[in-house]
Structure formats: C-alpha cells, structure tokens
Amino acid sequence: MQDIPEKTIIRAAEGDLEAFEEIYRLSSSYVYTLAYRVTRNAEDAQEVTQDVFLSVHRNLRRFQFRSSFKTWIYRITANMAINTYRKRAKHRERHVEFDETTGTDHPAERPGAVEKNDNEALVRSMLEGLPPEQRACLVLKEIEGLKYHEIAKVLNININTVRSRLKRAREKLIARHRKRGQS
C-alpha cells in the first residue's frame, strides 16, 4: 500500500470527498487482498472491503496518528475479515450438514471449481484448515511481510500471542504437508 500523506487523511477526516477518494484509490486493492487472503472468498472480500471503507469514513475523525494509517486500516480489515469468515463458516457448516442429509453435492465440489493457478490453489488449501486468527497472523507475516510487533499492533493482540499463533499455524501446515506426502 502506498503511503498516504497526512494532509490527505486530515482533509478526508474534515469531510473532503476527493481526499477520501484518494485514500480509497491508494488502499482499496490492499484492503481487498488482505480480506481475500483471510476469507478465501471473493464476494466476502468485496463485502469486507466495502465495510472497511464505511468504517474508515465514519471513524476517520478519531484517527490520531498514534500508529500509521496502514496499521490502522490493517487492524480494521483483519478484524472484519476474521469476523466475516467466522460468520460464513457457521453458515457453511449448516449448509454442508443440509447437503449431506439431502444427498446433494456441495457447489465447491463440482467440476469447474478447480483453480487456474496451481500454486495459488495449493496456498489456499494449505491455509484453509487454519483457524482465522492463525491464518490472519500467517498472511500478515509471510505474505504481507509485517514484523511481529506490527502484527500485534494490527490485530490488537500481545506479541507473544502473535508468536504462538504463528508457531501453531506453522506446525499445522508442516503436519498437513507431511500427511500429504505419505498419501
């Protein structure tokens, strides 16, 4: 995400729509990408992106530059994406149970749902089994390149919690990779 000048943020907080559009233009793809990596669903990522910018618009006046704007928007996005994933996961569980009782296939298991990019599909499948909190930490660390203290600030958690979530996530990924190798 490109740095957003402080004066643009201040102007947007004062109601300047052009300044807010500039913020959106400079950060929306970044927000969408992070949301997608946590939710693993394009529609959910779009919804999270919209919700993030509604929240940013409503709360920009309260932003006090104690952290970077990037950290602030990360925190909003990560939390909304995790909440959306949890909400959808509960719905998916009920949907799968219904499909199993009715004997129908789940849409994701139909031919044609296979991803074009094998590497992307592999990463997605490896991340799929992780709890959303661990997935968010792993995405922020390994894909977005944040440092431990930055992740802690973004997710509003203790740095030791970041370390333990990353450790557990990596252990699960290694175990899953070993299990695939034996299959």
- The predicted model gives 90-108 an average pLDDT of 48
117 has a pLDDT exceeding 90: no
Q: Is 13 contained in some domain?
A: yes
- And the tokens for 107? 């849409």
Q: Is 17 contained in some domain?
A: yes
Number of domains in the chain: 2
- Whether 84 and 1 map to the same domain: the answer is yes
- Domain of 36, CATH number, reads 1.10.1740.10
Give the Cα separation of 132 and 124 in Å (integer). 13
Place of tokens 């990924």: 173
Q: Is 108 contained in some domain?
A: no
Q: Is 106 contained in some domain?
A: no
- Whether 84 and 39 map to the same domain: the answer is yes
Task: State percent of the chain over pLDDT 90.
Answer: 42
- Whether 77 and 24 map to the same domain: the answer is yes
Q: Is 41 contained in some domain?
A: yes
- The predicted model gives 6-29 an average pLDDT of 95
106 has a pLDDT exceeding 60: no
Q: Is 94 contained in some domain?
A: no
Q: Is 101 contained in some domain?
A: no
Q: Is 66 contained in some domain?
A: yes
Q: Among 107-111, 150-154, 167-171, which range has the highest average pLDDT?
A: 167-171
Range of the domain at 22: 1-88
DSSP labels for 109-176? GSTT-S-S-HHHHHHHHHHHTS-HHHHHHHIIIIIS---HHHHHHHHT--HHHHHHHHHHHHHHHHHH
